[in-house]
């Protein structure tokens, strides 16, 4: 039987070992503690808009300045990732054939004089990515964490983003392309009053080998020029907004909007469009190139887009149309897509989010000059052509 003194010796030995461990004389674990969120950043936010998790990053290119500041909002680029598959929390399928996802990780470094209420866009206008061949890609997913609620006890109350907020914007681009410019659209207001006016902010971030830089907007937009269309007065079917977007509504008849200016030769057109499925239609509209400014005419080049097919046609969209090329891509309902039309030499192509989806050689009877038009089918209740732009190709 162990004596009292033996028990005491064993207890002293045990306490000595515990003291040694507490003093750190044995190697510590390499696991880093989980950082706690800032006190003004709630950990519970509306899951449909601002998820509370951002995936871990694995690359560090480009190395960016700490602060890209436009006078209201400061942003830093943490890193850019290229992946075929994304974590399940994003609920996105694998990137399409020959495509890859580009995840741009961002952090809000400062906010000055305004309240930032949306880092994903402004109304229908969303952030876009330009690749190194000048093609435009719409954002397919975005998440940010780091908000302050107007009523901290109610996560359905209005909120604003705070300094230190972090997030990611995700784009799908062809895998042989590189990201060149991020056109980041955000929403700000002067106060958090319910009747405060919401305004659009825009930052153009260029990705360079030595890091990211903020471009003056004039430098970014110098090659793309807005196209002005004359709206028909009949029944007030068309409206125009300050960002050069055009909307046609109503189901009484087909309707056109035409340029006064004539265009010719090699050119590119850019615009975005919502795909909204409805009764007996799959949403969309047409861009007419080298038209006569009045209606359908021979030699006109027509680019038609809806949720179930995309086509390059000529002459008209009715029985006398001639299909030059088509695609039956099924587009996602209630999503905004970026499109680019390219006419180069004797070829015409249509790009969707930077990827060429159809291309055709132009027959000799196709016009090589004329007006540009927007067109809505009568049976489609509404179509909007966002930020229609033009660029001449040398």
Please answer whether residues 249 and 381 qualify as being in contact, where contact means their C-beta atoms are separated by less than 8 angstroms: yes
Note the Cα 172 to chain centre separation in Å.
10
Distance separating alpha carbons of residues 170 and 104, to the nearest angstrom: 6
Residues comprising the chain, all counted: 394
Distance separating alpha carbons of residues 333 and 274, to the nearest angstrom: 8
DSSP symbols for 25-76: -SPPP-PPPPPPPPTTS-S---TTT--S--PPP----S---S-EE-SSEEEE
Per-residue confidence of the chain (394 residues) as pLDDT tens digits?
444 445 445 544 544 444 333 333 323 333 333 333 333 333 333 323 323 223 333 343 443 445 788 888 999 999 999 999 999 988 999 999 999 999 999 999 989 888 999 998 888 888 999 998 888 898 999 999 999 998 989 988 899 999 999 999 999 999 999 999 999 999 999 888 888 888 888 898 999 888 888 876 544 455 678 899 999 876 678 998 877 889 988 777 788 999 999 999 999 998 888 876 655 455 678 999 999 999 999 999 999 998 888 999 999 998 889 999 999 888 887 778 888 899 999 999 998 877 889 999 999 999 999 999 999 887 788 888 988 988 887 6
């Amino acid at each position: 039987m162990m004596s009292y003194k033996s028990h005491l010796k064993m207890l002293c030995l045990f306490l000595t070992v515990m003291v040694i461990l507490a003093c750190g004389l044995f190697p510590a674990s390499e696991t880093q503690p989980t950082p706690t969120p800032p006190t003004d950043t709630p950990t519970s936010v509306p899951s449909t808009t601002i998820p509370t998790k951002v995936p871990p990053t694995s690359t560090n290119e480009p190395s960016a300045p700490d602060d890209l500041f436009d006078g209201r909002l400061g942003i830093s680029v943490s890193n850019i990732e290229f992946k075929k598959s994304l974590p399940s929390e994003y609920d996105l399928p694998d990137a399409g054939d020959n495509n890859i996802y580009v995840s741009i990780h961002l952090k809000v470094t400062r906010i000055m004089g305004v309240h930032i209420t949306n880092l994903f866009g402004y109304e229908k206008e969303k952030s876009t990515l330009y690749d190194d061949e000048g093609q435009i890609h719409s954002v397919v997913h975005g998440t940010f964490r780091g908000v302050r609620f107007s009523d901290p006890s109610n996560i359905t109350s209005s909120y604003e983003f705070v300094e230190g907020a972090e997030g990611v914007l995700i784009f799908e681009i062809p895998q042989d392309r590189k990201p060149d410019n991020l056109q980041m659209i955000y929403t700000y207001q002067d106060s958090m009053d319910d009747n405060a006016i919401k305004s659009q902010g825009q930052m153009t971030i260029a990705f360079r080998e030595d890091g990211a830089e903020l471009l003056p907007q004039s430098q970014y937009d110098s090659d793309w020029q807005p196209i002005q269309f004359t709206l028909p007065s009949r029944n007030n079917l068309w409206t125009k907004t300050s960002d050069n977007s055009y909307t046609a509504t109503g189901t009484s008849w087909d309707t056109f909007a035409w340029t006064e200016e004539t265009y010719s030769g090699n050119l590119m057109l850019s615009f975005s469009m919502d795909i909204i499925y409805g009764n007996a239609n799959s949403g969309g509209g047409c861009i007419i190139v080298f038209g006569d400014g009045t209606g359908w005419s021979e030699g006109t080049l027509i680019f038609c887009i809806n949720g179930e097919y995309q086509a390059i046609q000529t002459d008209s969209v009715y029985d006398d149309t001639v299909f030059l090329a088509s695609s039956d891509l099924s587009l996602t309902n209630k999503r905004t897509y970026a499109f680019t039309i390219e006419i180069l030499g004797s070829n015409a192509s249509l790009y969707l989010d930077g990827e060429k989806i159809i291309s055709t050689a132009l027959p000799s009877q196709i016009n090589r000059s004329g007006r540009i038009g927007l067109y809505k089918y009568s049976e489609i209740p509404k179509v909007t052509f966002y930020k229609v732009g033009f660029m001449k190709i040398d």
